[in-house]
A and B are shown apart, each in its own frame.
Chain A
Amino acid sequence: MRVRAILFAALIFAAPAFADDQATALKRGFQLLDAWRVDEARSIAESLWARSPEDGSVLALIAEVKLHMSDYEGAASFYEKARDAGAPEVLTRNASLALAARAATQGYAETVTERFVIRYSIGKDEILVPYAEETLEKALASLSDLLGWKPSGRIVVELYPSASTLADVSTLTREEIKNSGTIALCKWNRLMVTTPRAVVFGYHWRDTLAHELAHLVIGGASKNTVPIWLHEGIAKFVETSWRGAPGLGLPIESQRSLADAAKKGKLIPFARMHPSMAKLKNQEETSLAFAEVFTFVEYLVELKGWESMRGVLAKMAEGESDAQAIEHVFGVPLTTLSDQWMASLKNRKIKVEGVEQGADRKVVIKDKSDAPDDALHGVSKEGRRYARAADLLFSRGRSKAAQVELEKAVKASSAPLLEAKLAVVALANGDLVAAERAARGALAGNNDLAGPHVTLAEILIRGKNPAAAIEPLQGALAVNPFDPRIHELLLRAGKDDPTISTRAKAAIRVLQAPKKTAPALGTGGIVIVEGLPFSRVFVDDVATGLVTPTAELELSPGKHKLRLVPPIGPAIERDVVVDANKGPAPQRLAPDMRGS
């Protein structure tokens, strides 16, 4: 991006057609996009377009802004127009990315909140939306406090149905995603997150949302000048701030592994973490790298508090390098700090309170998001055999015998998954003591399994303690909310809480609903919506995925309800009439959107 901005600047200065101020604005617009300041770039694009709507470079800037607003159809269309209008190649090179993203996200639904636009594929992922909204709102509040910056416009969050979609819309390959276990990204002013459906047993998707949002805030605060190791360190450290305090995201086992690596001198240099943690060799390396940068940020924060961190970001936004900014704020060179941090690692006290006990579960990405999980993933051969015999017994109503088998399985191969199974079967047998023991055992071994959370919640509800069941159910939601039992139990446990009840009912409705497809808007009338620039367009409450000025949009002739959602502020609705096609020129809809 930076390279492109320089090239572009050269081109601008070489172009006599532009007035100086316009050229400067254009340059500034691209620079702001590179600096993750999309709201500001959008304003520039808006004014430039008003003045020079046919100019290739302006069209390219608009295309780029649209890409950053997730209007892939519009971006592709404007890139094409820009090309036709003679925009330099370097300005339209993201066109292919826009096309790929358009294909990958076609027919997505959108939920607009005050600060976010959540886009998702129609179907089960709808149940993520209210929880995602809650997470994001909380995270934005805490992160802006911690890091000192907040985007002014709505942030686009896309939930992808599979990891391969993430590959389609990003520059990562499928293999890199699979090897590294990368399931989310923050780029082009949007959060790109894979649904927990696409990962075996799900993952901590809510923390991940917060993590990616942290990247966005860091990028915005620093004008995207922070190197990756620091980016990831800060993001990892603050990702838990939405649900309590920052610094809780490193499980005990991971802390132990880091200490071990530090003692053995096997730490990964920060330089190897560039350009992306996802490009590291394997998940073990990625995990270690995250632990390193996490503890480095922890070290910095412990040294001088969050003010220092905000200072570092501000200095970098002003143009200082990471080393300069850190030295500036901390008064010692980065290398010295790094040495001190490394030395501290050997004696670092393992943080226990509020932290998960087990190690980070290896992320196993499914080839297909709906592919069923292997309920005994990673369990030893012997344990597997007992557990599978138990399954056969349980499915034939022999739950007592199944419990005996599972007890043998747990004895033979101590694995959280087996304990989770044992908990379920013991619960079915009414053996609440054994069930609770097994469920807690499973969670002690691995906290990011939804199953034992759910079982524990059921045990608590049966034990007449429904209030206590909320917490494990939230734990399950945070990992894999697609198990209908979670929502059924939430209905029982949180019946006095209208928010919980409403969300649970909605989730059950979604899970029970037949497979849905994107609603059709009809054919026969081609329109371009122009009113209120850079607003998201909804027709008859259906998200078009477009942002004004839109690419050509086909609707059925007749009356429609048009809703435009600006980058910030409330939505505006108007009734419009679409005419049937009368020629090659599309109908332009530019209703007066002022003073709704």
Chain B
Amino acid sequence: MAPRALLALERLLARVRARVRRAALFEGTLVALTGVALGLAVGIIAARLRLTGFPLALIQILIGGSIILFAALRYGWILARSLRRPIDVATWVDDALAPGTPDDAVRFRTALELSRDRGRYNESEALSDLAAKSAEKRAAEVDDAELVARQVRRSQKPRLIAFAIAATIASALSLIFPGPRASAWAALTAVSTLDHPLSPPLPEPRFDDIRLSYRYPSYAQRAPITLVTPDGAVRALPGTEVVVETNASERLTEATLVLVYGEEESSRTAAEVDGRHVKAKFIVARAGRYRFQVKTEDGQMLEERRGRTIDLELDSPPEVTLIEPTTSPLEVNEADRIMLEVDARDDFLLGDARVAWRVLGTTREGKSPLDMGTRGERRRRDRASFDLAALNLRPGDRLAYTVEVLDNDTVNGPKVGATETKELRIYSKEAHHREVLALAEKALDELVHVLGDDLENAFTALDESKAYDSLLTRATAIVERAKAANTMLRDAIVALEKDPLGQKPIAVAFESARKDLQRGTRSKAVALDEARAHFERTQKADDRRARNVGSRQSEVVADLEKNVVYLADLLNDQRLIDAEALTKALRAEQENLRKALEAYKASPTDDQRRLLMAAIQDIKKRIQEISAELAKLRGSIPTDLMNPEALESGDQMAEMDKVQKMIEEGDLDGAMKQLEKMLTGTERTLAEMQQGRQELGSREYSEVTEKARQMWKDLEALEGEQGTLGKKIDQYSQKMLDRMKDRLGDPDAFVAKQKARLEQALERLARAEPALKLTEGDGFDLAERRVADTKRALEARDFGAARESAEDASAELRRVDADAERRADQARRYGDLFGSAEEVERAAHEVSESAPLVDQVLKDLESLVPSPEELMSKQERADMQRLADRQSVLKQRSQNIKKQLDELAEQVPIIGEGTREVLDEATEGMGQSGQGLGTGDAPGAMGGHQKAMDALGRLKDQLEQMSKGGNGSGGGVPLPFGPGQSGGEGEEGQDNFDPQRKVEIPKPEQYKVPAEFREDILKAAKQSSAEAYKDAVRRYYEEIVK
């Protein structure tokens, strides 16, 4: 049988629960209000009794607060928990109904339980159903509203009474003691904002609007401002001086400004009083409040209760953004200068910038100033270098850094804005160097393979077309490989140039090899294209074209044979230098240890011993590192230069262990002996390395060294003698200049004179025009125009143009004159067919008269540029001829040096085409000089001389740079160019090359006549020239000296 539903009962219980909850809420509120009223009453009494201090405030809070707390807990529990389950509500209803309930009436709780447990305990289901039926019936009869009201009324009544009493007392006390009421109320509501919540409050004064004058701290760079506000709230930067002015409602005799910071801190300062006017001043330091306490003229003390707020205006730290570098981690060298670009801004002004750094994994950290123009700026984007050299970084260090920019807050101290933290990885120069060498080695490998390919695939015409086609394909592949090798070489060269531990000649040599390869490959590719094109057309090999490819291939092979050997030697030399440097480092470590041991022997204290043992640990670590590096090198240094056993340093650690053990056992002499043995071994290794380099140099390059030395000597001698010759040429050049200036005279007079002649000529031509001018553009017209052009050119001081026009005019006039004569003759013979014979004759006469005038002008213009014969005496010209002969000898010597260079270039590819071209320039300059001297043109000779000297100087610079850059202790692959190298044997390794020195590249005009000469001419030209014609005159004289 299905259980019987208790629907009526459940509805009843739901209604009852809702009513009871509402009643409980009301009752709880009532209790809480009773607490508030009681608290207020106690507070008023306390205030009235002028009781102050924390204990009384506590009583007030405890009384009111405890009642409120009680209400909250008790009624909160009722609301939340006690009527949560229906069974609890049923119990409550059963209890409420109990007094009038018949004995047989089923209790709602029981009915619910029976219904819940039906069948569970083998009870009678019929009985259960009966109970349910009965409960349902009874529930329908219950008036829940009446029931709840009856029950709640009993509980609420005493609470209402209590509240009424408390409220009455509080109200009464409030009415009777309004002051204490305010205090008490304030104590309850604003206990955190009053200095003494329960002290008896003074009456509050009343003020007008408040006038606030702000004077900001200087760093803010703000002008003072004044504001009038009703609430007097202050908002300012720390350090701001605030002047508060207001008027009270009564006349005052004194006033005090009370500043309150936080709970306890407060200060009082006297305010200025003038009648009702009050004025006070304070400096904003922190956020807080201020208020006035005043005394009226009738002696009453008044005080503001809450006062006015003081808020701090926020001074934000600068915003800083790192623009560059963006890469992180960025790999750099330990002594690099890192360029940092930063954008910084501040709400006020920026201060200095700096880099805050920390070496990761260590305790090393610091701040380095940055020379960035941020100070005093509101916003700045700037670059500055961060010098790592000062940080004593070591290869492999990782450096976290951030750029910090301060603001200019001098009151609270500058605030710091910082960029995000980035990382620098201190690249080991040595590691970088090794990578560069590996790159160079790879490029060299590729060059060797290109050589191998060429040697294994010698190009020749093959009869069998398939085989020839295959050969063409292979040759094309080799060309492609060579092009790829060119790219690899480029990469290697860039790396080599940047390698601080590398030798400059290596980069130069690689570049030279690259150029050779590029040139050879291009040439071969062109020949190959031709051969292939022909083959594709004819399907036959063409002998001539195949020979051409073969010939180009041979050139490539010859270059490669020369270059690969030289490059390999340079790399080997570099490896030996590297090994030597490592061994020197090892020796230095051993020396350090010996010193430490000596110090310990001299003073065997515990401290010294500790130092010594620490030194041993350090050196062991270092030896391990160095040994590892040496081991790597061991595999790459050719065994024909150095015995690989010499680089074995495996025993070093074992020997160090022995030293350590001896020291620990107190055998200092033994330890010293062992150390000496190690040092001797290291010295021996070092000597072997140096010998290896010597071996390389002497085995492969002794002849080159000698030739290079001789060539340098010859070059220096040639430069010296050319310089001496140049001084003599200069003397003659100077003489010519002076004489030319003498001849020039006054340009204005010259122009006026020529103009007069031309005008006269033009007048004559104008008279002849009607008879002789037939059409526009005929001969006469042309002649007339040329004369006019000459005049205009003279007016413009363009003597060059004037001369050209005069030449043209003269020629045209001769033609016109001849034509006029012919026409006059015809007229005479054939009548007036060609015009009046008389007129024509007159016109011809005019023309013939004007021609000499133009000729004269031309002659004068030509005399402006005199021939050397006119300027120099016979003796002087003879002397100059001797100089020309001398110059010829020097030119020959220059050509001889070129031969020497060519020979050297055969063996040392570092001497490239460019170097030889520079020498060609020198030779050419000498040729020009010789020619100038031969024709008596000293200024021209001077230009040639300058060109030669300049080229010789550049050549020397180039050669010096080739030979410098890390020859170290001598040996190796030398090129003994440069100062001090021409003195013969025994002057090795004096490296005074300054890598910072720039080689000045001369401009083309420097090959021209000397600057002083031009300047003198131009000065002369400027004399007496009308302003408008200065440029024209200048052009003319420039023409002269060209």
Instruction: Digitize A389-401: 1 where CB-to-B-CB distance is under 8 Å, 0 elsewhere.
Output: 1001100101011
Q: How far is the CA of A402 from the CA of B703 in the complex (A)?
A: 25
Chain B residues, CB < 8 A from A540:
none
Q: Among A264-272, A284-292, A308-316, A364-372, which stretch is in contact with chain B?
A: A364-372
Interface residues of B in 442-460 (CB under 8 A from A): 445, 448-449, 451-453, 455-456
Are B561 and A370 in contact, CB atoms less than 8 angstroms apart?
no
Q: How far is the CA of A533 from the CA of B326 in the complex (A)?
A: 87
Known: A375-B640, A381-B907, A385-B561. Contact between A393 and B455, CB under 8 A? yes
Q: Is B695 close to A, CB under 8 A?
A: yes
Q: How far is the CA of A373 from the CA of B638 in the complex (A)?
A: 12
Q: Is A386 close to B, CB under 8 A?
A: yes
Q: State how many angstroms separate the Cβ of A389 from the closest Cβ of chain B.
A: 5
Q: Is B705 close to A, CB under 8 A?
A: no
Q: Which of B449, B642, B645 contacts A398 (CB 8 A)?
A: B449
Chain B residues, CB < 8 A from A388:
565, 568, 700
Interface residues of B in 605-659 (CB under 8 A from A): 639-643, 645-646
Q: How far is the CA of A393 from the CA of B703 in the complex (A)?
A: 25
Chain B residues, CB < 8 A from A370:
643, 645-646
Are A392 and B645 in contact, CB atoms less than 8 angstroms apart?
no
Q: Which of B453, B565, B688, B699 contacts A392 (CB 8 A)?
A: B565
Q: How far is the CA of A384 from the CA of B562 in the complex (A)?
A: 11
Q: How far is the CA of A393 from the CA of B560 in the complex (A)?
A: 11
Q: Is B961 close to A, CB under 8 A?
A: no
Q: State how many angstroms separate the Cβ of B456 from the closest Cβ of chain A.
A: 5
Nearest neighbor of B642 in chain A, beta-carbon distance:
A372
Are B448 and A396 in contact, CB atoms less than 8 angstroms apart?
yes
Are A372 and B456 in contact, CB atoms less than 8 angstroms apart?
no
Are A368 and B451 in contact, CB atoms less than 8 angstroms apart?
no
Q: State how many angstroms separate the Cβ of B478 from the closest Cβ of chain A.
A: 12
Interface residues of A in 339-387 (CB under 8 A from B): 367-368, 370-375, 381, 384-386
Q: Is B253 close to A, CB under 8 A?
A: no
Are A372 and B561 in contact, CB atoms less than 8 angstroms apart?
no
Are A401 and B643 in contact, CB atoms less than 8 angstroms apart?
no
Q: Is A125 close to B, CB under 8 A?
A: no
Q: State how many angstroms separate the Cβ of A247 from the closest Cβ of chain B.
A: 38
Nearest neighbor of A399 in chain B, beta-carbon distance:
B452
Are B564 and A371 in contact, CB atoms less than 8 angstroms apart?
no
Are A392 and B455 in contact, CB atoms less than 8 angstroms apart?
no
Are B455 and A405 in contact, CB atoms less than 8 angstroms apart?
yes
Nearest neighbor of B569 in chain A, beta-carbon distance:
A388
Chain B residues, CB < 8 A from A300:
none
Q: Is A594 close to B, CB under 8 A?
A: no
Q: Which of B456, B561, B688, B907 contacts A368 (CB 8 A)?
A: B688
Nearest neighbor of B643 in chain A, beta-carbon distance:
A370
Chain B residues, CB < 8 A from A386:
561
Q: Is B760 close to A, CB under 8 A?
A: no
Q: How far is the CA of A388 from the CA of B907 in the complex (A)?
A: 13
Q: Is B691 close to A, CB under 8 A?
A: yes
Are A398 and B643 in contact, CB atoms less than 8 angstroms apart?
no
Are A371 and B561 in contact, CB atoms less than 8 angstroms apart?
no
Are B456 and A404 in contact, CB atoms less than 8 angstroms apart?
yes
Are A398 and B562 in contact, CB atoms less than 8 angstroms apart?
no
Residue from the set B456, B639, B645 with the largest chain A CB neighbour count within 10 Å: B456
Are A371 and B643 in contact, CB atoms less than 8 angstroms apart?
yes
Q: How far is the CA of A401 from the CA of B699 in the complex (A)?
A: 24
Q: Is A516 close to B, CB under 8 A?
A: no
Q: State how many angstroms separate the Cβ of A107 from the closest Cβ of chain B.
A: 14
Are B642 and A389 in contact, CB atoms less than 8 angstroms apart?
no
Chain A residues, CB < 8 A from B561:
385-386, 389, 405
Classify the interface of chain A: helix, strand, loop or mixed. Answer: helix
Are B456 and A398 in contact, CB atoms less than 8 angstroms apart?
yes
Q: Is A515 close to B, CB under 8 A?
A: yes
Q: State how many angstroms separate the Cβ of B1025 from the closest Cβ of chain A.
A: 67
Q: How far is the CA of A384 from the CA of B560 in the complex (A)?
A: 14
Q: Which of B452, B640, B688, B907 contacts A401 (CB 8 A)?
A: B452
Known: A392-B448, A392-B568. Contact between A401 and B456, CB under 8 A? yes
Known: A372-B640, A374-B695. Contact between A398 and B448, CB under 8 A? yes
Interface residues on B, range: 20 to 34
Q: State how many angstroms separate the Cβ of A185 from the closest Cβ of chain B.
A: 27
Are B456 and A389 in contact, CB atoms less than 8 angstroms apart?
no
Q: State how many angstroms separate the Cβ of B686 from the closest Cβ of chain A.
A: 13
Are A515 and B645 in contact, CB atoms less than 8 angstroms apart?
yes
Are A385 and B565 in contact, CB atoms less than 8 angstroms apart?
yes
Instruction: Digitize B684-713: 1 where CB-to-A-CB distance is under 8 Å, 0 elsewhere.
Output: 000010010001000110010000000000
Chain B residues, CB < 8 A from A396:
445, 448-449, 452
Are A372 and B639 in contact, CB atoms less than 8 angstroms apart?
yes
Q: How far is the CA of A521 from the CA of B562 in the complex (A)?
A: 57
Q: How far is the CA of A389 from the CA of B455 in the complex (A)?
A: 11
Chain A residues, CB < 8 A from B691:
367-368, 371
Q: How far is the CA of A404 from the CA of B454 in the complex (A)?
A: 11
Are B642 and A381 in contact, CB atoms less than 8 angstroms apart?
no
Q: State how many angstroms separate the Cβ of B924 from the closest Cβ of chain A.
A: 32
Interface residues of B in 906-920 (CB under 8 A from A): 907
Known: A389-B564, A398-B449. Contact between A372 and B455, CB under 8 A? no
Chain A residues, CB < 8 A from B640:
372-375
Nearest neighbor of A384 in chain B, beta-carbon distance:
B700
Known: A374-B695, A401-B456, A404-B455. Contact between A393 and B643, CB under 8 A? no
Are B562 and A385 in contact, CB atoms less than 8 angstroms apart?
yes
Q: How far is the CA of A515 from the CA of B451 in the complex (A)?
A: 40
Q: How far is the CA of A404 from the CA of B688 in the complex (A)?
A: 34
Nearest neighbor of B699 in chain A, beta-carbon distance:
A374
Are A389 and B565 in contact, CB atoms less than 8 angstroms apart?
yes
Chain B residues, CB < 8 A from A393:
448, 451-452, 455
Q: How far is the CA of A388 from the CA of B451 in the complex (A)?
A: 13
Nearest neighbor of B646 in chain A, beta-carbon distance:
A370
Nearest neighbor of A386 in chain B, beta-carbon distance:
B561
Q: Which of A374, A384, A398 contacts B452 (CB 8 A)?
A: A398
Nearest neighbor of A403 in chain B, beta-carbon distance:
B455
Nearest neighbor of A400 in chain B, beta-carbon distance:
B456
Residue from the set A384, A392, A396 with the largest chain B CB neighbour count within 10 Å: A392
Q: State how many angstroms separate the Cβ of A519 from the closest Cβ of chain B.
A: 17
Q: How far is the CA of A372 from the CA of B691 in the complex (A)?
A: 11
Nearest neighbor of B447 in chain A, beta-carbon distance:
A392
Known: A371-B691, A373-B640. Contact between A392 and B456, CB under 8 A? no
Q: How far is the CA of A404 from the CA of B452 in the complex (A)?
A: 9
Q: How far is the CA of A323 from the CA of B282 in the complex (A)?
A: 133
Q: How far is the CA of A381 from the CA of B566 in the complex (A)?
A: 13
Chain A residues, CB < 8 A from B703:
381
Interface residues of B in 521-580 (CB under 8 A from A): 560-562, 564-565, 568
Chain B residues, CB < 8 A from A384:
700
Are B643 and A392 in contact, CB atoms less than 8 angstroms apart?
no
Q: How far is the CA of A392 from the CA of B645 in the complex (A)?
A: 22
Chain A residues, CB < 8 A from B568:
388, 392
Nearest neighbor of B907 in chain A, beta-carbon distance:
A381
Q: How far is the CA of A389 from the CA of B640 in the complex (A)?
A: 15
Chain B residues, CB < 8 A from A389:
451, 560-561, 564-565
Chain A residues, CB < 8 A from B451:
389, 393, 401
Interface residues of B in 561-605 (CB under 8 A from A): 561-562, 564-565, 568
Chain A residues, CB < 8 A from B448:
392-393, 396, 398
Question: Can you show 12 pairs from A to B with CB atoms below 8 A apart?
Answer: A372-B639, A374-B695, A374-B699, A381-B907, A385-B562, A389-B560, A389-B561, A392-B564, A393-B448, A398-B449, A402-B452, A405-B561
Residues of B at the A interface (CB closer than 8 Å) are 445, 448-449, 451-453, 455-456, 560-562, 564-565, 568, 639-643, 645-646, 688, 691, 695, 699-700, 703, 907
Extra contacts, 8 of them, besides A386-B561, A400-B456 (Cβ < 8 A), are A370-B646, A371-B643, A372-B640, A389-B451, A392-B565, A396-B448, A398-B452, A405-B561
The 6 closest A-B pairs by CB, nearest first: A398-B452, A401-B452, A401-B455, A404-B455, A389-B561, A388-B565
Residues of A at the B interface (CB closer than 8 Å) are 367-368, 370-375, 381, 384-386, 388-389, 392-393, 396, 398, 400-402, 404-405, 515
